[in-house]
Structure 1
């Protein structure tokens, strides 16, 4: 990221304090590890300082590999987090689907997925979407989760022409709201409800009009077709070509398979392509995750995971509509 000015420094300090105090609930005896890269050293040092207010040992691990292949190291070194109680994955790309993180979670450690990749030169720790009330997002998630869990199929349509269905038989939804207590030790900065859908059962057409995940905003909506869970057609617009090139760069056919369905729950977030974590968190959006979904409760292995974000969906759980043009229409929770 670019040099931090005084205003952004204050914003990052605020975000770091939210993470350390409201999300991680650190204790003095817990050993904390922050995993990041050289490009993020300035901002993760602020995060480290915030964590040291609550924990006596906070270590920083700087990884050499950047970009979407950063997870390869953590697949090969499955036990690397064994000496720590709390791990923060603050690299460019998410580490949440790697074997090392999967082991850490299974061992009862706290893990927060905090990928810092942005497209506007600002630190993600300074984004205002981190201020979303964790209690409100949890209540929203639980209301939707009740309908999702009782359904076999999820169906999405939009005004643009999206018409796609997902099957999730035997699989329940989870949610992230930042707070590791609500996630039983595991959470993400992406405030969302997620479903590890059946990997070979997605069928239909989507018009991508929100975000291409890590590679930024969609400039002009384009068509994608999915059959038997796998992308079989990408319209060759400028953005469609960007997506195809990105997929091909993985050199892994498994990255074309849909393994997650998600609904954004963060009313502070906007889907404008500056930060993929903010994009997929934004209330009024849904996303489809492709590639590995093991850490989300699925059964699919791949070399990575990425999300495509779309706007203003009508969402049905079996035959019941729960969202209309991006607005929840089942009874919404009241905080007070």
Structure 2
């Protein structure tokens, strides 16, 4: 697939842009200009004339510069092609509350536009997404293991699952595109065990060496595993709420392949991910200015002692 065709698929099939949409394209200096340009041209082809804004990528307490926040609140379709997520910003929340759509394409690279993730049958996969959400919502306790040594137990009772459907078509919604996943906020102080991330991590790209996290009372108290682990540890150790495990999720896009870009990799079917940091945007209680995902492959998952996924394959869905 050529890059421009990938951009058309995102604009047409994943976002559904119409000529009367007030589209805002946001990017930063850490992203390849070709991604924003391709999406801009695809919007023009769809009949919309996007407003374009760029900044240096620096967020203050998770918030973009004021000019960008104001513009986000005025648009009804906001496409965020940024290095750090704008999905948890106050402006994104305001936009969706007003009926707008916020599309998060964090760490998007040129490879995203040609990745097979865009070939997924998003419509026919919605049944699987809904079934996984129902299973998460009904469960109270989770155990996750992998053959590489992950072994974590935690509670999710009383929490509500959320999803990225690979699309963002409904007013008042936010989604990562073309990410497909179901995610939930664990009860913050209940998680204990070991996580070994071996695919990729936010801000780190593909992992060259697994990252080992030892977790107790819902917090990562030891992070080891090489230079990327050192990078992660420095990112979280002095940030309020930074070591709290904020998210449990599984990917559901059967066409996605690893790229080092979180908007693709966290949605790969056969992987799961946990995140450190903020989860107040999806039902958690941990306030933090950042949200850092860690993707690992082939989870075996038990929901209330019942086998739900075996080595990355759903057992019944």
What TM-score results when the alignment is normalised by the length of structure 2?
Answer: 0.90
C-alpha displacement of 1:78: 4.8
Aligned residue runs from structure 1 range 1-336, under 5 A: 11-38=2-29, 39-63=31-55, 65-66=56-57, 71-73=62-64, 78-118=69-109, 122-181=110-169, 185-189=173-177, 190-248=179-237, 251-271=238-258, 274-330=260-316, 332=317
Contact 1:31–1:55 (CA under 8 A) maintained in structure 2: no
CA–CA distance in structure 2, aligned partners of residues 222 and 85 of structure 1: 39
Once residues 185 and 124 of structure 2 are traced to their aligned partners in structure 1, the CA distance between those partners, rounded to angstroms, is 23
Paired residues, what number?
315
Alpha-carbon distance, 1:75 to partner: 7.9
The alpha-carbon distance between structure 1 residues 82 and 55, as it changes in their structure 2 partners (threshold 3 A), is farther
- For residue 201 of structure 1, give the secondary structure of its aligned residue in structure 2: coil
Alpha-carbon contact 2:35-2:108 (below 8 Å) kept? no
* Structure 1 residue 184 displacement after superposition: 5.6
Per-residue deviation, 1:295: 2.5
Q: Distance in 2 between matches of 1:67 and 1:26?
A: 28
Q: Structure 1: which 5+ residue stretches go unaligned?
A: 1-9
Partner Cα separation in structure 2 for residue 158 and residue 236 of structure 1: 17
Residues 32-91 of structure 1, C-alpha deviation per residue, up to 9 Å, x if partnerless?
10111245333212211211233443111111x226769432589754422211111111
**Over aligned residue pairs, what C-alpha RMSD do you find?**
2.4
> Unpaired segments of 5 or more residues in structure 2?
none
Q: 8 Å contact 2:28–2:82 — kept in the other structure?
A: yes
